[in-house]
Amino acid sequence: MIDGEILYLSPTYAGSVHDKNICDNESLSFMKNIPVIVDLGFKGLTSEKAQIIMPYKRKKNQNLSMEQEAFNTWISGVRVKVEHILGSVKINRKVKDKFRGRLFAREDDVMLVACALHNLKLKVNKYV
């Protein structure tokens, strides 16, 4: 179950950089055997410890089985929660707007603060 807390934050990249390229550049390694749910853009991603979970892709002129469609529906349900978390972080306009003026090269700091505020909001809501 996703509790909504952000556990990892990579350095920021331009919006045009593909997520798989970021993952390759960061060379993530996992210490525990955990499931990692990714989309089809991460095709070819491997890990010794983590279990990579990827949706099924329909082949040309073939349909997915009922089990494969149910599995894809389950994955999309998990991934939409992740997208909602990202949307919560982007409530802070400075995260999604273009940086101007004297704040050049501060993108990492601003993203760190926005993610910390998101995590703090979760903790406060848990005790209220």
Q: What is the pLDDT of residues 97-117, one digit of tens each?
A: 776 656 566 778 888 888 898
84: domain range?
19-127
- Judged against a pLDDT cut of 60, whether residue 90 lies above it is answered with yes
Cα 112 from Cα 20, distance rounded (Å): 21
Q: Mean pLDDT, to the nearest integer, of 45-64?
A: 86
Mean pLDDT of the chain: 82
What total of structural domains would you count in the chain? 1
Cα 93 from Cα 125, distance rounded (Å): 22
**31 located within any domain:** yes
**43 located within any domain:** yes
**Can you give the pLDDT at residue 71?**
95
**41 located within any domain:** yes
Distance of CA 23 to the CA centre of its chain: 11
**11 located within any domain:** no
- Judged against a pLDDT cut of 70, whether residue 119 lies above it is answered with yes
- Judged against a pLDDT cut of 60, whether residue 1 lies above it is answered with no
Place of tokens 């853009």: 41
**107 located within any domain:** yes
**67 located within any domain:** yes
**5 located within any domain:** no
pLDDT category, 37, cuts 50, 70, 90? confident
